[in-house]
Amino acid sequence: MQPSEIQAYADAEPQSRKAGRPRSEDSHRAILDATRRLLTHMPVSKISVEAIAKKAGVGKTTIYRWWPNKQAVVMDAVFSQPAFHNILPASANAFEGIQAQLEKLFRQLAGKNGRMVSEIIGDAQGDPEALKSLIEIFFQQRYDALARYINEGKESAEFAKETDVEVAIDLIMAPVFFRLMTGQDFDQTFESQIPAMIRKALAA
């Protein structure tokens, strides 16, 4: 599933148009663009729906018509960017796949994007609904990719048979986000040692 698919919008079936004025593609785009532009200047917490509406030249109602709240707009704005698509290269073995996923994350979460994501995750704490949709939009595809590699590795005896897939996923993903949320940047040491440690941790 790609980020953009969270929009019911994208699901519209071309042959059976509903009555009424169709949703404005321009406004939709303007809202997400404005949100992204605001996000580069200020933290999520400083952004208001009002500011987005004003910057996008759009009525506040139009935003609330399509997203339940600010968090949802921000998630959509951030994760619908092509840079956040999770297309991974083919990999020779299970560990290589995991490593590819990690490197993808390192690149996706470096710099401002990382800060945005950590704020989005932070915002979703204390709101189960937001957390659920965050997982659907962002985490699930990464979970799925990793689950495939881990199962592959278990079958090929590259990884230990008793490894629990979900626990392994946590072990792999966690350090990346923990760094982010404790305010540390990625560095060369981190990016090289974490995959190595994970390889050892999972090894048969």
User: 87 to each of 108, 174, 195, how far by Cα in Å?
Assistant: 12, 20, 19
**8 Å CB contact between 35 and 72:** no
- Among its own copies, DNA, none, residue 1 binds (CB under 5-8 Å by kind): none
Q: Which residue lies nearer to DNA by CB, 43 or 111?
A: 43
Binding to its own copies (CB under 8 A): which residues in 24-63? Answer: 43-46
Residue 49 near residue 63 (C-beta atoms within 8 A): yes
Torsion 165-152-99-116 (CA) sign: negative
In whole angstroms, give the CA distance from residue 149 to residue 97: 6
Residues within the interface to DNA (CB under 7 A): 17-24, 26-28, 30, 46-51, 53, 57-62, 64-66, 69-70
Is residue 57 within 8 Å of residue 30, measured between CB atoms?
Answer: yes
Query: What, of its own copies, DNA, none, does residue 70 touch, CB below 5 to 8 Å by kind?
Result: DNA
Shortest Å, Cβ 101 to its own copies: 15
Torsion of CA 191, 195, 196, 202, to 10 degrees: 160
Stretch that binds its own copies, among 10-18, 76-84, 93-101, 159-167 (CB under 8 A): 159-167
Q: Is the dihedral of CA 90, 108, 142, 147 positive or negative?
A: positive
Residue 174's binding partner out of its own copies, DNA, none, with CB under 5 to 8 Å set by partner kind = its own copies
Give the per-residue contact string, 84-113, with its own copies (x = CB under 8 A; - = no): ------------------------------
Taking residue 145's Cβ as centre, other Cβ atoms within 10 Å add up to: 19
Of residues 116-135, which lie at the interface with its own copies (CB under 8 A)? Answer: 118-119, 121-128, 131-132, 135
Q: How far is the CB of 87 from its own copies (least distance, A)?
A: 22
By CB under 8 A, name the one of 5, 26, 50, 164 that touches its own copies: 164
